[in-house]
Chains A and B, each alone.
Chain A
Amino acid sequence: MCALACLAVLDRQNAPLYVRGDFSSFFGSSPSFDGEEPDGSVSDSRGIGGAASAEAGGGPTPPAVNFASLRHQFMIHAALDHIDEKVRDIISLGGQTNNNDMMYLGFLCPVEEMRLYGYMTNTGIKIIAMVEDAAGVLQQQREIELKSLFSSVHVLYAEYLLNPFAKIGGEIVSGRFDEGIRKCVYDFNKKHNF
């Protein structure tokens, strides 16, 4: 099993730009890039099938890249409330300290066996990562690594947005972005797997 199970990028209005939860398959075969479906409803139906095949140990068909199981999507949605709370705390604390870590919101909430961590940028982009629960020291190590993971995802997103053909406010459809995320998460999981 992998430490980081799911990664999501949401925009200012909490619309999903990129949700991906197929990282466990990287430790077996390489994922194939299925045709991306921009329609949200289709990805949901894929999600039900994808969850089954992931539990079957990476079944015969490799999952599409830009999708996450329904369960993961639900957990991410639940975490949105906690992001709101954290942001409200920042407001009530009266604005900014010049702390470079301010974008990292930290631990949001536990959901079942996963822990969710959040990160919010100046432009309202939120990045949520779902990490498996582990004991004590291991978790702290993971949290330190998570900060750098979040900032590299942010860098990837900024570079994706610099492409003039990238639709503003649309879903993230980019091979380079996918590959970058895959690499980041692969490195993270390699370090922090059991």
Chain B
Amino acid sequence: VTMSGHSTGQIAQAPMSAPAQFSDQQVEPTSPPSLTQQSPSDNNQHNSLNSLSQQTLPQSIFNRPPSVPSAYVADCCFDFLLYELLHHAKSTSTGVGQGPLGGEAAANRIQRVGYQVGYRFCERVGQSRPLLGIRAGPHSSVAGAASATIDPLEAVKFVCKEFWTEIFRKQVDKLQTNHRGMFVLKDGDLRWLRSLPEGEAESRMAAMMILAFPCGLIRGALSNLGMDVSVNCEFLTDSKRMGACSFNIRMKLPASSEGSESSMSSLTVFPPIKAALSSI
């Protein structure tokens, strides 16, 4: 789902022409605003309606192929979709109970959804960017490019900057690392957490479930860049800014690279010629 497009109050209808382009749908705003009164976060978006004509629509970093009609979807559409996704995950996850323990299965489901979205979106975002810094992997003598991994710090910086900007239109506020495989990303104002009621116990539970989605996004994006990680999240609010949160990324230690050799034999019936060719 695309996050681009400025926050108008208008809800538009998506054309059914290209259903495979799930994440790239952009639509001309046609129908009058009908859902704006329902969400409190939309009140400040109403004012932006007046300045609509003076604003220039934000340019995305993507090169749009000419076959895709250009249009925009309102930001709040995705917010509603996310909240509905949480409801659905909660109601269909067969947990130990309806309490906090039941929420964990739901959070796992949401994390898996986030993984898929992050993986695919990372391919798209990394498209226009030149090749990230590479460094030689541990088995670089034989396996070559299959093990030349992207520098983890470069990959995490890419997630913090370009990836985050495409989703939230801002960068991650703070990045810390201990240079031994652990990273901490801090964001002071996550858009999806803004509308939670302050100071309630339920907010914390809801926030942890909402945060499972960005956890999955980060995990998916890094997995597409070749890093196997596990991501934890924390909800750091101080009841003034509900949006503060942090993500802890921990790199899993690399397993043996025997798996990469077996997939090469699927390309040709000949026995591995690579070793012979490389000795020439």
- Chain A residues in contact with chain B, CB under 8 A? 12-16, 19, 40-41, 44, 70, 73-74, 76-78, 80-81, 83-85, 87-88, 90-91, 95-103, 120-126, 152, 154-155, 157-164, 166, 168, 174, 176
Residues of B within 8 A of A41 (CB): 269
Q: Number of B residues contacting the other chain (C-beta, 8 Å)?
A: 48
Which B120-165 residues sit within 8 Å CB-CB of chain A? 120-124, 126-127, 129-136, 140, 144-146, 148, 150-151, 158
Interface stretch (choices B18-26, B46-54, B180-188, B210-218) = B18-26
Q: List 10 A-B contacts (CB under 8 A).
A: A15-B264, A77-B274, A80-B274, A81-B278, A87-B134, A102-B130, A123-B226, A155-B127, A157-B123, A161-B119
**How far, in angstroms, from A14 to B262 measured CA to CA in the complex?**
10
B22 with A164: CB separation less than 8 A: yes
Knowing A44-B269, A74-B268 touch, does A13 contact B274 (C-beta < 8 A)? no
- Chain B residues in contact with chain A, CB under 8 A? 20-24, 63, 65, 116, 119-124, 126-127, 129-136, 140, 144-146, 148, 150-151, 158, 224-226, 259-260, 263-264, 266-270, 273-274, 277-278
Residues of A within 8 A of B135 (CB): 91, 95
B133 with A95: CB separation less than 8 A: yes
A83 with B145: CB separation less than 8 A: yes
**How far, in angstroms, from A123 to B140 measured CA to CA in the complex?**
18
Knowing A14-B146, A123-B224 touch, does A78 contact B126 (C-beta < 8 A)? no
Taking CB as reference atom, which chain B residue is nearest A165?
A: B20
Knowing A91-B148, A123-B122, A163-B20 touch, does A103 contact B134 (C-beta < 8 A)? no
B130 with A98: CB separation less than 8 A: yes
User: Which of A12, A70, A102 lies in contact with B268, CB distance below 8 A?
Assistant: A70
A-B contacts counted at CB < 8 A amount to 153
Taking CB as reference atom, which chain B residue is nearest A83?
A: B145
Measured CB to CB, the closest approach of chain A to B257, in angstroms, equals 9
B277 with A73: CB separation less than 8 A: no
Measured CB to CB, the closest approach of chain A to B24, in angstroms, equals 7
B226 with A124: CB separation less than 8 A: yes
**How far, in angstroms, from A105 to B65 measured CA to CA in the complex?**
23
**How far, in angstroms, from A168 to B121 measured CA to CA in the complex?**
12
B24 with A162: CB separation less than 8 A: yes
B270 with A155: CB separation less than 8 A: no
**How far, in angstroms, from A40 to B126 measured CA to CA in the complex?**
29
**How far, in angstroms, from A14 to B20 measured CA to CA in the complex?**
26
Measured CB to CB, the closest approach of chain A to B14, in angstroms, equals 15
A78 with B277: CB separation less than 8 A: yes
Measured CB to CB, the closest approach of chain A to B278, in angstroms, equals 5
**How far, in angstroms, from A101 to B20 measured CA to CA in the complex?**
29
Residues of B within 8 A of A96 (CB): 130-133
Taking CB as reference atom, which chain B residue is nearest A76?
A: B267
Knowing A13-B260, A40-B266, A162-B20 touch, does A122 contact B273 (C-beta < 8 A)? no
A155 with B266: CB separation less than 8 A: no
A99 with B130: CB separation less than 8 A: yes
